[in-house]
Amino acid sequence: MSIGIVGLGYVGLPLAVAFGEAGHDVVGVDVDARKVAALRGGESYVEDVSSDRLRALDGRFGATTRYAELAGAEAIVIAVPTPLTENREPDLGPLLDSARAVAGVLQAGQLVVLESTTYPGTTREQLVPLLEESGLGAGRDFHVAYSPERVDPGRRDFTLRTTAKVVGGLTDACRERAVDLYGRVCDTLVPVSSPEAAELSKLLENIFRSVNIALVNELAMLTDRMGIDIWEVVDAAATKPYGFMRFDPGPGMGGHCLPVDPFYLAWRAREFDMTTEFVELAGRINQQMPYHCVARIERALNDQAKAVRASKIALLGVSYKAGVGDTRESPALKIASLLGGLGADVRYHDPYVPELRDLGLRNEPLDDVLDGADLAVIVTAHPDIDHHAVATRVPALLDLRGVTRRPAPVRA
Ligand SMILES: NC(=O)c1ccc[n+]([C@@H]2O[C@H](COP(=O)([O-])OP(=O)(O)OC[C@H]3O[C@@H](n4cnc5c(N)ncnc54)[C@H](O)[C@@H]3O)[C@@H](O)[C@H]2O)c1
- Could you tell me where the beta strands, DSSP code E, fall in 122-198? 143-146, 165-169, 189-192
Distance from C-alpha of 174 to C-alpha of 113, rounded to nearest angstrom? 9
Nearest CA to ligand 1 atom 36: 7
Residue 368: strand, helix, or coil: helix
Contact 136, 106 (CB under 8 A): yes
Ligand 1 pocket, 165 CB below 6 A?
A: no
Active site residue 257: yes
Task: Report pLDDT for 84.
Answer: 93
Task: Locate the ligand 1 atom nearest the alpha carbon of residue 115 and give its number.
Answer: 10
DSSP 8-state code for residue 312: E
Q: How confident is the model at residue 408 (pLDDT cuts 50, 70, 90)?
A: very low
Per-residue pLDDT, 20: 98
pLDDT band at residue 130, thresholds of 50, 70 and 90? very high
Distance CA 89, CA 92 (A): 9
Residue 135 Cα to chain centre, angstroms: 36
Q: Is the beta carbon of 6 within 6 A of some atom in ligand 1?
A: yes
Q: What is the mean pLDDT of the chain?
A: 95
Q: Are 292 and 327 in contact (CB under 8 A)?
A: no
% the chain with pLDDT above 70: 98
- The predicted-structure confidence for 269-293, as pLDDT tens digits, reads as follows 999 999 999 999 999 999 999 999 9
| For ligand 1, mutation pick of 13, 30, 209 (most atoms within 8 Å of CB) | 30
pLDDT, tens only, 176-203: 999 999 999 999 999 999 999 999 999 9
Handedness of CA 234, 238, 243, 249 (dihedral sign): positive
Segment 73-101, tens digit of pLDDT:
999 999 999 999 988 899 999 999 999 99
Distance (Å, whole) CA 11 – CA 348: 28
pLDDT of 410 over the 60 cut: no
Q: How far is CA 394 from CA 101, 160, 201, 361, in A?
A: 55, 42, 46, 21
Residue 411 confidence class, pLDDT cut points 50, 70, 90:
low
- Express the helix, strand and coil content of the chain in percent, nearest 5 each: 40, 15, 45
Residue 231 clears pLDDT 90, i.e. is over it: yes
* pLDDT tens by residue, 24-53: 999 999 999 999 999 999 999 988 899 999
266 lines ligand 1 (CB under 6 A): no
Q: Is 206 in the pocket of ligand 1 (CB under 6 A)?
A: no
